Amino acid sequence: MVVIESSNRHAEASRKALASFKELAANLDGWNFSQEKEGVKLYTKSTGGPISIVRGDTVLKTGDKYTPREVATVATQPGCRKIWDEKFDSSEVKEMFTHLESIFWVKLKAPWPVSPRDFTGVALRDFDDDECYVSMSSVEDPAVPPVSGCVRGNLIISGWKVFKTDGGIGITYITQVDMAGSIPSSFLKSIQLQVPLCAGKVANYVSSYGFPPATLTADNVTYKKESFDHAKREFVAQVEGKEGDNQVKWLISGQMFPNGVKVTLDGTASHEIVDADAPGRKYVVVSGLQGLVTVKINKA
């Protein structure tokens, strides 16, 4: 894992969660095959307690059309999740410590009369060309106080492994979650089944739409926040330049933006759109940032 200077006050917890997730995703030792549904192989793993760990494995069979990073971006971007996860209600990135780690809040839908569940946690990404990991786990933080009308659950461990494999990209989604409070067993069973199916939902999204702008590098900047609106095809990032040379680079999908993109900057910086070293891709490069800059990338 690449070590990046970070102000993450939950660094110890997030790195411990990532290490635990990597162990869970390493192989199928100790996992019990449940069934295959919608192209996803479903597994469970007992922890000796009342809450099992669930897992979904699938393969996006598109040869080398996509990279692990591109698929992982779809798995982790809330604007995409709103499309592929029917239980997703809303979310907010409360703080980005770097472009690879953040603290978030997320709210999930629940059928009446069950109260919606919300979670606050830290997310940490470990990306390279052949294999990408994203781990998420609950933390307590004064920036995310209890929300009226929601029951706060505990995301014990959750994450994605996205990797190159024969014929395409392997996608593994693993989660162990305590929904907390009083909740019907039928609803819990439906979650146990539906949650790992998200691996297939991500694969379907990528096949249909491509991927949103993916942050490749953020050199000598403080990455404040980002968002993506699928319907508008609008990506917004706030970044703050430090003294000296600085640059942020995003990878753009020609499938998501078939007519190209337009870039708008609010603040002092410059940008260029250049061909990427992969077909159907572009780079948006923003450099010379002075202070806080808002970058908007829209469909042309």
122/76 Cα distance (integer angstroms): 12
Q: What is the pLDDT of residues 138-192, one digit of tens each?
A: 999 998 999 999 999 999 999 999 999 998 999 999 999 998 877 777 767 777 7
Beta partners for residue 154, in sequence order:
178
Sequence-ordered alpha helix ranges (H) in 136-254: 185-194, 198-209
Q: What is the pLDDT of residues 230-289, one digit of tens each?
A: 999 999 999 999 999 999 999 999 999 999 999 999 999 999 999 998 899 999 999 999
In this predicted structure, the answer to whether residue 209 has a pLDDT above a threshold of 70 is: yes
Per-residue confidence (pLDDT) for residue 181, from 0 to 100:
79
Per-residue confidence (pLDDT) for residue 1, from 0 to 100:
45
Could you tell me the pTM of the whole model?
0.92
Would you place residue 193 in the very low, low, confident or very high pLDDT band (cuts 50, 70, 90)? confident
Per-residue confidence (pLDDT) for residue 63, from 0 to 100:
84
Q: If one looks up domain 214-299 in CATH, what number appears?
A: 2.60.40
Beta partners for residue 278, in sequence order:
none
Per-residue confidence (pLDDT) for residue 275, from 0 to 100:
96
Q: What are the CA-CA distances from residue 254 to residues 1, 5, 77 (Å)?
A: 29, 33, 18
In this predicted structure, the answer to whether residue 76 has a pLDDT above a threshold of 90 is: yes
- Within 8 A by CB and 6+ apart from 55, the residues are 24, 31, 42, 43, 44, 45, 172, 173, 174, 196
Per-residue confidence (pLDDT) for residue 59, from 0 to 100:
97
- Phi first, then psi, for residue 255 (nearest 5°) are -70, -40
The answer to whether domain 11-209 and domain 214-299 are alike in fold is no
Q: What is the pLDDT of residues 11-29, one digit of tens each?
A: 899 999 999 999 999 999 9
Determine the average pLDDT of the residues in 119-138.
95
In this predicted structure, the answer to whether residue 8 has a pLDDT above a threshold of 60 is: yes
Would you place residue 6 in the very low, low, confident or very high pLDDT band (cuts 50, 70, 90)? low
Q: Write out the H or E segment, with its range, that includes residue 148.
A: none
In this predicted structure, the answer to whether residue 111 has a pLDDT above a threshold of 70 is: yes
> What topology does CATH give the domain 11-209?
Alpha-D-Glucose-1,6-Bisphosphate; Chain A, domain 4 (3.30.530)
The domain limits of the chain are 11-209, 214-299
Per-residue confidence (pLDDT) for residue 182, from 0 to 100:
76
Per-residue confidence (pLDDT) for residue 50, from 0 to 100:
79
Q: What is the pLDDT of residues 27-74, one digit of tens each?
A: 999 999 999 999 999 999 988 877 889 999 999 998 889 999 999 999
